[in-house]
Structure 1
């Protein structure tokens, strides 16, 4: 493909199958490097997810599009997925755009395509450009354009609940046959629990009572709790319901548990959703609370995940939540990277100070494309 003319243009519906094939090769390791039309089976759920995420989003803007790189034969050889977000900040309505799922077919032979795709994204009409899922390669491209990562939003955390089972889960990512050792991990964790049962309290009295709710009730709580943040999504009932419906499809992570705590006045004071998996690692998609209730919410997350049978629970970091996590024995690590750019630097201040709700369901991690397996 070296020496061919590569065109960067808007992503069109006719490109979906080509993007799906490249996604399977790049992120799911299906069959090595092959071109579209070579007989590779395409996941139907993957195709449907790409269409929903990039063509059916309720906040789609006419001038804001994902981008593809196309060679002279019309084959899709590069892609950057763009999803819109409408934000409010100090009474202003802002257009934000998240960039994710960036991939290039045979990047060694075409080292400049990724950078061209990223530049095309940054040249769009959005007030704020972001990503919360950049890998090391994508991060390098952002940095070369002068946009450093945001350390506070780039951290991921994990709370180990059952040490032996957690160790085996992490080993399975590298050695799949380690799953045969799961029964021994459960036996070891039972022995550990007999000696010292985990305690998730932070020492203060619990005032909140969390309860299981429906996804719809969780969404209504989010509409109230988002106002805690200076910069926040302009959700309404329709948009939050659509985002939640998409996130519910990420079943390879486990079963979604929706939890809300209400105050005496009937208003929500905290809410979170995580994907629970007995014996596996639970994954927190979104957690919101009044500032004074962050600790109690974290304790409920840990306790609920332990009672469900999770080996551990993890999630993406949020600056306002970090102190409550640190004081309750969560460990932090790097996994994916968060980068943000705005032409008006004033829009970056709430992000730098941790007063922006721009991740999870409010970001791009609601997408099934982020982490789902598409095994059909």
Structure 2
């Protein structure tokens, strides 16, 4: 089958089964898809609360009428200085047998970029997808591409990372915990140098309380989502279903007037590597947020903590000796370059819940 024999069109409900099988083959190494995966694909790409008829995911159909490629497109409603901005995120790009169909991925990306959106974004490009973006003249954004890792228990972290190559090493987890205690790495991370009276006091909250805090704190960022209570509730409910990452923890700090000044959500895994979903705060509270995040994850028993880019936290993360890696790449493109100014400044709330990371495709198991 030649790449020239394929057609690119909008995703339809009848394509879901074929796209699910392609997802399992591409990202999970499995031949079969589950009903829960089909439901997640349909929720994410056909029942999105910000559905835009002109911004549908694209599917490549081969000469036999079967899906042979896919790019997930998620609309996003943003605002910048009172201006409504239509955004679109592209992710979950996959091509069946890319060596035999070398042009399909590029055609899918071009179809996405030809859409009606004001700004085109991707939060989760891998090296192959990034190469396609760059060939079209759209470089990665370094600030939003900095994934980070904070090691809390080094031996257990090493075991966790080694398991990804040699799964049988999970049997060494108890030895890792013993070794960490033996070398004295059970100490709680020391806070940054910040006066005690200025440190935000965080407390555990419900998922709904966390969402209410986000509705306030989003306004601290020039380019931000136009969430309302209904749409944000949908995103948060989708996001909490990441069973591969652990248990969701929701934390908020309030100011003297009772209004939220900082909030974060992460997935905790005792003995494992926790994963940060979202972290937002007023500019004066960023160091305190990082302190509480690391201390809470350590107390929970996490071996380490990782997260995608939150550029406003990078200085505090660097001071706390977090490691930075290029694990997933962020690209932003807009014809109106003023839309890119807050992105380049690292002050756009366009990642995590405000990006693509709410999707169950990132972190759910989809058991058969």
- The C-alpha deviation readout for 1:104-146, integer Å capped at 9, x for no partner, is 0000000000000000000001000000100010000000000
**Do the aligned residues in 2 keep the contact of 1:4 with 1:71 (CA within 8 Å)?**
no
1:199 maps to which of 189, 202, 217: 189
Structure 1 residues 165-244: aligned runs within 5 Å: 165-193=156-184, 197-206=187-196, 207-244=199-236
Offset at residue 197 of structure 1 (A):
2.0
Taking structure 1 as reference, are residues 71 and 198 closer, same or farther at Cα in structure 2, changes over 3 Å only?
A: same
Offset at residue 2 of structure 1 (A):
2.6
- Tell me, what secondary structure is at the counterpart of 1:53? helix
Offset at residue 328 of structure 1 (A):
1.1
1:282 maps to which of 264, 274, 280: 274
**Do the aligned residues in 2 keep the contact of 1:7 with 1:71 (CA within 8 Å)?**
yes
Once residues 60 and 6 of structure 1 are traced to their aligned partners in structure 2, the CA distance between those partners, rounded to angstroms, is 26
2:93 maps to which of 98, 102, 117: 102
- The C-alpha deviation readout for 1:285-316, integer Å capped at 9, x for no partner, is 00001111000000100000000000000101
**Do the aligned residues in 1 keep the contact of 2:202 with 2:292 (CA within 8 Å)?**
yes
The equivalent residue for 1:154 is 145
1:83 maps to which of 45, 54, 74: 74
The equivalent residue for 1:16 is 16
Offset at residue 355 of structure 1 (A):
1.4
- The C-alpha deviation readout for 1:184-205, integer Å capped at 9, x for no partner, is 10101111237x7243311222
Report the TM-score when normalising by structure 1. 0.96
- Tell me, what secondary structure is at the counterpart of 1:119? helix
**Do the aligned residues in 2 keep the contact of 1:4 with 1:72 (CA within 8 Å)?**
no
The equivalent residue for 1:117 is 108
Once residues 48 and 244 of structure 2 are traced to their aligned partners in structure 1, the CA distance between those partners, rounded to angstroms, is 22
- Tell me, what secondary structure is at the counterpart of 1:303? helix
RMSD value over aligned CA atoms? Answer: 1.1
The equivalent residue for 1:34 is none
**Do the aligned residues in 2 keep the contact of 1:69 with 1:117 (CA within 8 Å)?**
yes
**Do the aligned residues in 2 keep the contact of 1:200 with 1:302 (CA within 8 Å)?**
no
Structure 1 residues 1-376: aligned runs within 5 Å: 1-2=1-2, 5-31=5-31, 41-193=32-184, 197-206=187-196, 207-376=199-368
**Do the aligned residues in 1 keep the contact of 2:279 with 2:310 (CA within 8 Å)?**
no
Offset at residue 209 of structure 1 (A):
1.1
- Tell me, what secondary structure is at the counterpart of 2:357? coil
- Paired residues, what number? 366
Offset at residue 56 of structure 1 (A):
1.1
Once residues 174 and 368 of structure 1 are traced to their aligned partners in structure 2, the CA distance between those partners, rounded to angstroms, is 24
Once residues 286 and 192 of structure 1 are traced to their aligned partners in structure 2, the CA distance between those partners, rounded to angstroms, is 32
Offset at residue 266 of structure 1 (A):
0.5
Once residues 227 and 349 of structure 2 are traced to their aligned partners in structure 1, the CA distance between those partners, rounded to angstroms, is 12
Offset at residue 329 of structure 1 (A):
1.4
Unaligned 5+ segments in structure 2 are none
- Tell me, what secondary structure is at the counterpart of 2:325? strand
The equivalent residue for 1:36 is none
- The ranges of structure 1 where at least 4 consecutive aligned residues each deviate by more than 3 angstroms after the TM superposition are none
Once residues 177 and 259 of structure 2 are traced to their aligned partners in structure 1, the CA distance between those partners, rounded to angstroms, is 40
- Tell me, what secondary structure is at the counterpart of 1:252? coil
Offset at residue 4 of structure 1 (A):
5.9
Taking structure 1 as reference, are residues 117 and 324 closer, same or farther at Cα in structure 2, changes over 3 Å only?
A: same
Unaligned 5+ segments in structure 1 are 32-40
Offset at residue 15 of structure 1 (A):
0.2
Offset at residue 3 of structure 1 (A):
6.6
**Do the aligned residues in 1 keep the contact of 2:57 with 2:73 (CA within 8 Å)?**
yes
Once residues 319 and 285 of structure 1 are traced to their aligned partners in structure 2, the CA distance between those partners, rounded to angstroms, is 14
